[in-house]
Amino acid sequence: MKLLKSRTAKFMAIGTLLFTGVATTVIENGNYFEIAKNIEIFTNLYKEVNTYYVDEIDPSTLMKTGIDAMMNSLDPYTNYISETQIEGYRFITEGKYNGIGADIRLIDDLPTVVAPYKDAPAQKAGLKAGDKIVAIDGKDTKGKTTDEISAVLKGYPGTEVELTISRLGEAKNLKITLVRDEVEVSNVPYSGMVSEDVGYIALTTFTREAGANVAKALQDLKVEQPKLKGVILDLRNNGGGLLAEAVNLCNVFIPKDELVVTTKGKVKDWDRSFRTLNPPVDTEVPLIVLINKGSASASEIVSGTIQDLDRGVLLGQRSYGKGLVQNTRDIGYNAKVKMTTAKYYIPSGRCIQAVEYQNGEPVDIPESKRAPFKTRSGRAVLDGGGVKPDLVLDYDAGSNILQTLEDKYVVFNYVNQWVLKNPEVKSLEDFHFTAWDDFIQFLNKENYDFDTETEKLLKDMKEKSKEDGYLSMTDIQTLESKINAAKKVDIEKHKELITDMIEKEIVSRAFYEKGRVKIGLRNDMEIKEALKLFGDRAKYDSMLKG
């Protein structure tokens, strides 16, 4: 009885603190009673479940479940960041964290090293892409979430962690001890010339110094080629980052004191306009910005601003459509809440936010429902649902085969086997993947299910046919044969693009992210189109005129 009273007293104290904490903030918007009432209900419920539920409950886990459910009812970008997730948050904002230095993802329910970072503890200790981590410090990893794995692998520099590794080609598991360290990942993995007079800069994320790093890359290109005739800025698959760095990056190409973005939210005192603050590096060099559906947030501020000010041509596919601004606020015990506080508006006045979501992804908005705006020279642009390129190129239109190969780690798994049978790549310039038939045999042997929409429908038809008997197994098998034949045609149709994926994965094993980017330029269809456009200056100029 004494225990129950003690726990009840603690929960009532928590409830009082929660109640007191909101009293000064909610009275302004008139929801004081509703918020206070629901906080009291929540506190009482939490107390009763934790005290009387049949099994022992971890209060922290129970609370986090409730918090996550609350956050999930809002937009996909409002999240609770617990104390154990702070290192991940630091990586997103600063591009560095304390840990082992490897991209690790769950593949076949086991944490798998997808890419060790160059000169990081993982690479120095001998971890390789494809290594499956079966235990950490002797504890089994099967069934653990990525957050749980990440929390264990991150830690103070100088501390050790022992990994038990299952490696393809090795009969027994390996034990590797790593010493954690501060890991820093460059946001500009590669820049260089892609032709005699056209430069290229890849930016992977808007962490700190993104603008300064792009500025330095451009200055280096201008030293290498004083008669620079064009620059390609690659923001494909760049999911964004710091708003200030988006402004700094725009400032590399546009003059000082230009309006880049305005934020507007419920708290009017927080509305702000962001202008460029420094002298630019170059406002005249022709510029092409590459974007795709993986370009989001800060990438869309930059590409949208370049478009609105007619500073350069956008090429690729329509961007993701994230026009929301997040701010983080401390909520005690080294935890934070990252929440959407505003929408951002680029120079033309448009907001590119997708207004609808399905399963956490933005729903495509027809152009007929998007409001028109005008660029500085009078060109028509649309709001909502992302930034549309001036030159739309989609080599995978009508097919999801490339995305499926990536999502199911098909190319990754193939390369894991390929490197066992082939010598390490010594030269980027001389390497070409020529074993296409071997890749096809791998697909046939592994019998990969690509889960196309047609295949999903066929699975449903199989189940229904068992119930109603309208379709025989012969009918089903005939349809399966036709689908398999169509998939083979689709794979052959995209041979060049798939070969590019394989080459990038192979060279990344020896040359890391820089090698992946560099060899990709050789086969990149969009780079070729950009070079073609730079070669036709009249067409380039006409695309920027109203």
Q: Is 498 helix (H, G, I), strand (E, B) or coil?
A: helix
**Active-site residue, 308 included:** yes
Q: What does the DSSP 8-state code read for residue 423? A: P
- Which class for 432: exposed (0-12), middle (13-18), buried (19 or more C-beta within 10 A)? exposed
Helix (H) / strand (E) element for 175: namely strand 174-179
Residues 503, 508, 509, 514: is their CA dihedral positive or negative?
Answer: positive
For residue 288, the one-letter residue type is I
The residue from 82, 150, 295, 297 that is catalytic is 297
Dihedral of CA atoms 324, 329, 331, 335 in degrees, nearest 10, equals 80
The residue from 154, 293, 322, 514 that is catalytic is 322
Chain-centre distance for alpha carbon 156: 26
Structural tokens at position 491: 């794979």
CA of 345: how far to CAs of 118, 260, 263, 297, 301, in Å? 38, 9, 6, 11, 8
- What is the Rg, in whole angstroms, of the alpha carbon atoms belonging to the chain? 26
Q: What does the DSSP 8-state code read for residue 241? A: B
**Active-site residue, 504 included:** no
Structural tokens at position 43: 């506190």
The residue from 181, 234, 308, 390 that is catalytic is 308
Q: What does the DSSP 8-state code read for residue 422? A: S
Q: What is the number of other CB atoms lying within 10 angstroms of the CB of residue 326? A: 18
Q: Is 501 helix (H, G, I), strand (E, B) or coil?
A: helix
**Active-site residue, 468 included:** no
Q: Is 172 helix (H, G, I), strand (E, B) or coil?
A: coil
Q: What does the DSSP 8-state code read for residue 154? A: -
As annotated, the active-site residues are 297, 308, 322
